[in-house]
């Protein structure tokens, strides 16, 4: 495997892995407002892809996920009144084709916040008070949320920020169809419509750009980190495959349990994750015939989009996820 084109931090401590993700100045309070769909459009089936699913996640606070002063608009950029137009549709999301069960925090001896080690073993969240990091078997993931028949774990952040794609190949993703996601005005959290399952987005990109995806390390760094996470972290064979770059909806599912996850990271000697993370979701600007990439800002739970090279808000971190079946 090629060496990843990112600076390496010490793998001996989880603190080293996570502290970098909280630095380098991620203040983007002036971030642009993404176009947004209204509730009426969702209920009438007028989404970016009428056959695809949506996700509605409340973080338990009416202001979470909606930046103060942030306007909203429909898929065409029209303004929507967030006070009068709320989402009432019963919407769900999936990870790896499995329906997210966001109200489940424990099942079958596994809990949100459990730490997964390199050898595949787990440290229960209830046991973290007495846990000490072993440099030979360090933490590599945290249980983030449950799906039917399993759970989703989020890996450690990339050790350095990166671009989603280099400028020479960025135009290929303008033709993506299944990765398109729109944000819907909600009021009590974020709602996304379109392709909310990111597990197959790399496959489609490979079909569109068969040449440049062969050198993902050079051309698609964000995907490269997610796709080769098992190699980079030298994971046990039981966890060596199926890591992927999540959709923005899946990133938001991770954010919903940020308080619990950050408590785990602190117990392991790390620091909370508040940075911006790339998703595999795109927003297609039909007027300009270009696609931007969605990202999630974990400090506030806000979602926006940027150019694939991070032209407006800079490079971002990568948080790979994996579905573990029960």
**Domain membership flag for residue 163:** yes
Start-to-end CA span in the chain (Å): 30
> CB atoms < 10 A from the CB of 299, how many?
18
* pLDDT of residue 100 exceeding 70: yes
**Domain membership flag for residue 257:** yes
pLDDT (0 to 100) of residue 175 = 76
* pLDDT of residue 222 exceeding 50: yes
* pLDDT of residue 87 exceeding 70: no
Q: Which domain holds residue 89?
A: 34-325
pLDDT (0 to 100) of residue 261 = 78
Domain count, the chain: 1
* pLDDT of residue 174 exceeding 50: yes
**Domain membership flag for residue 14:** no
* pLDDT of residue 120 exceeding 80: yes
The position carrying tokens 């408590």 is: 263
**Domain membership flag for residue 204:** yes
More confident of the two residues 112 and 4: 112
* pLDDT of residue 149 exceeding 60: yes
**Rounded mean pLDDT, 76-86:** 28
**Domain membership flag for residue 6:** no
pLDDT (0 to 100) of residue 155 = 92
* pLDDT of residue 50 exceeding 60: no
pLDDT (0 to 100) of residue 186 = 55
**Domain membership flag for residue 202:** yes
What confidence tier does 124 reach under pLDDT thresholds 50, 70, 90? very high
Close Cβ partners of 1 (under 8 Å, ≥ 6 residues apart): 228, 231
Cα distance between residue 268 and residue 141, in whole Å: 12
pTM of the model: 0.75
pLDDT (0 to 100) of residue 38 = 37
Cα distance between residue 322 and residue 243, in whole Å: 5
**Domain membership flag for residue 3:** no
Q: What is the DSSP letter of 73?
A: B
Cα distance between residue 73 and residue 34, in whole Å: 8
Burial class of residue 247 (count of CB atoms within 10 Å of its CB; 0-12, 13-18, 19+): buried
**Domain membership flag for residue 24:** no
């Amino acid at each position: 495997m090629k060496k990843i084109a990112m600076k390496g931090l010490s793998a001996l401590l989880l603190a080293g892995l996570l502290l970098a993700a909280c630095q380098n100045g991620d203040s983007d309070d002036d971030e642009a407002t993404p176009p947004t769909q209204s509730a009426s459009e969702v209920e009438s089936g007028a989404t970016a892809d009428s056959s695809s699913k949506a996700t509605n996640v409340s973080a338990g606070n009416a202001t979470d996920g909606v930046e103060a002063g942030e306007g909203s608009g429909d898929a065409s950029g029209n303004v929507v009144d967030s006070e009068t137009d709320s989402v009432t549709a019963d919407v769900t999301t999936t990870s790896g084709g499995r329906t997210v069960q966001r109200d489940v925090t424990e099942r079958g001896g596994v809990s949100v916040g459990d730490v997964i080690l390199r050898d595949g073993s787990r440290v229960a969240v209830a046991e973290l008070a007495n846990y000490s990091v072993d440099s030979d078997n360090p933490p590599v993931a945290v249980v983030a949320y449950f799906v039917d028949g399993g759970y989703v774990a989020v890996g450690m952040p990339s050790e350095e920020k990166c671009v989603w794609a280099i400028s020479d190949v960025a135009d290929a993703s303008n033709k993506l169809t299944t990765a398109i996601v729109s944000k819907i005005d909600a009021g009590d959290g974020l709602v996304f419509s379109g392709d909310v399952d990111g597990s197959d987005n790399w496959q489609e990109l490979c079909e569109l750009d068969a040449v440049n995806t062969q050198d993902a390390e050079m051309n698609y760094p964000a995907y490269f980190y997610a796709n080769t996470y098992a190699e980079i972290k030298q994971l046990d064979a039981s966890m060596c495959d199926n890591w992927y770059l999540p959709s923005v909806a899946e990133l938001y599912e991770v954010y919903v349990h940020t308080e619990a996850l950050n408590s785990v990271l602190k117990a392991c000697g790390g620091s909370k994750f508040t940075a911006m993370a790339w998703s595999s979701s795109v927003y297609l600007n039909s007027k300009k015939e270009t696609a931007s990439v969605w990202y999630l800002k974990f400090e506030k739970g806000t979602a926006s989009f940027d150019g694939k090279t991070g032209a407006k808000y800079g490079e971002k971190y990568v948080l790979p996820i994996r579905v573990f079946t029960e």
